[in-house]
């Protein structure tokens, strides 16, 4: 599974003209026969480089399923899905692993290695780690990003000695350390206090604006909605709304918003 979570190194797949994510008529179901359950219905979506898109919607509406499809972690059954210019449908597992190297994943189950320190967990994801003489650089890079996330005092702690929110930040550091082209985050701030949550989104915002990294983030956290360029809402597997934020804030006052947009 390590490869799934390793952050990318190559910038070569990025093109400024193509969307980072392009989804056409995507359907998805779990199970077969009596257990058949369709959870995504005819999804169409384009996300461009440098955009921060927040995906929201009720529990069970298909947000995580959509994120894992975009992350090349599930097989495309019906429809088309292009990531960084590459069609995922029909790709063999080896190719899918290559695609995943350009994606930074942040999931709620953080999957840290418990025998390694915070710094070592982050180092594992760096492109320098495997190279001769690269370890000192990897260690420095790991410590730097942990510092940016407010963990400079904790770099040599192992996960069992870290709080839930601190572990989550180590997982975030690991996803961001190699500056992936695309970041997929599933409720990245859920376990964090206000200040840590803000640090995380500020760092993501900086990466999106300065480095053109595309971010798709599932969140129910109203405190961070302001970083979004766009908010999309999934209800019962259908994309119900798609709001570009400039228009959004100009044309909606908080009381008048569709309550489902902020479903908790």
Ligand X SMILES: Nc1ncnc2c1ncn2[C@@H]1O[C@H](COP(=O)(O)OP(=O)(O)OP(=O)(O)O)[C@@H](O)[C@H]1O
Report, in Å, the least distance between residue 165 CB and Mg ion: 19
> 30-69: which residues touch Mg ion (CB under 5 A)?
63-64
Report, in Å, the least distance between residue 62 CB and Mg ion: 8
User: Pick from 145, 102, 107, 101: which is nearest to 123 by CA?
Assistant: 145
From the list ligand X, Mg ion, none, pick the one residue 16 interacts with, judged by a Cβ distance below 5 to 8 Å according to partner type: none
Q: Is 86 exposed, middle or buried (0-12, 13-18, 19+ CB in 10 A)?
A: middle
Beta bridge partners of 26: 43
Using CA of residue 43, residue 105, residue 59, residue 261, what is the dihedral sign? negative
For 93, other C-beta atoms within 10 Å of its C-beta total 9
Segment interacting with ligand X, rule: CB under 6 A, options 63-71, 74-82, 98-106, 204-212: 63-71
Segment interacting with ligand X, rule: CB under 6 A, options 14-22, 58-66, 75-83, 197-205: 58-66
Kindly state the DSSP code that residue 165 receives in the 8-state scheme. Answer: H
Helices of type H across the chain = 2-5, 63-70, 93-100, 118-123, 135-148, 164-176, 194-211, 245-251
Residue 60 lies near ligand X (rule: CB under 6 A): yes
Residue among 63 and 141 whose Cβ is closer to Mg ion? 63
Report, in Å, the least distance between residue 65 CB and ligand X: 3
Count of residues interacting with Mg ion (CB under 5 A) = 2
Tell me the two tokens of residue 238: 């259908």
Residue 65 lies near ligand X (rule: CB under 6 A): yes
Report, in Å, the least distance between residue 217 CB and ligand X: 13
Report, in Å, the least distance between residue 104 CB and Mg ion: 18
Q: Spell out the residues 6+ positions from residue 63 whose beta carbon is closer than 8 angstroms to its own.
A: 55, 56, 57, 186, 218, 234
From the list Mg ion, ligand X, none, pick the one residue 95 interacts with, judged by a Cβ distance below 5 to 8 Å according to partner type: none
Q: How far apart are CA 173 and CA 58, in angstroms?
A: 28
Residue among 35 and 255 whose Cβ is closer to ligand X? 35
Kindly state the DSSP code that residue 43 receives in the 8-state scheme. Answer: E
Residue 20 lies near ligand X (rule: CB under 6 A): no
Segment interacting with ligand X, rule: CB under 6 A, options 55-63, 148-156, 223-231, 251-259: 55-63
Binding site for Mg ion (CB under 5 A): 63-64
Binding site for ligand X (CB under 6 A): 30-31, 37, 39, 57, 59-65
């Amino acid at each position: 599974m390590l490869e799934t979570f390793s952050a990318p190194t190559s910038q070569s797949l990025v093109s400024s003209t193509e969307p980072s994510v392009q989804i056409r008529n995507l359907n998805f179901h779990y199970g077969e026969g009596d257990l058949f359950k369709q959870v995504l219905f005819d999804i169409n979506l384009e996300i461009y480089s440098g955009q921060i898109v927040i995906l929201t919607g009720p529990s069970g509406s298909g947000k995580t399923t959509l994120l894992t499809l975009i992350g090349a972690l599930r097989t495309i059954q019906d429809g088309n899905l292009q990531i960084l210019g590459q069609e995922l449908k029909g790709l063999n597992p080896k190719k899918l692993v290559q695609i995943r190297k350009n994606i930074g994943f942040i999931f709620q189950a953080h999957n840290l290695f418990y025998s390694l320190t915070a710094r070592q967990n982050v180092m594992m994801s760096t492109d320098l780690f495997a190279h001769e003489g690269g370890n000192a650089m990897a260690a420095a890079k790991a410590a730097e990003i942990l510092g940016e996330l407010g963990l400079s005092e904790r770099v040599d702690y192992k996960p069992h000695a870290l709080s839930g929110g601190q572990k989550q930040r180590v997982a975030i550091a690991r996803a961001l350390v190699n500056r992936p082209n695309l970041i997929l985050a599933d409720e990245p701030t859920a376990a964090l206090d206000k200040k840590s949550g803000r640090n995380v989104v500020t760092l993501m915002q900086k990466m999106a604006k300065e480095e053109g990294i595309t971010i798709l983030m599932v969140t129910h956290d109203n405190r961070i909605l302001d970083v979004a360029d766009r908010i999309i809402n999934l209800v019962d597997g259908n994309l119900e709304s798609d709001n570009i934020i400039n228009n959004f804030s100009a044309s909606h006052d908080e009381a008048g918003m569709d309550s489902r947009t902020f479903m908790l």
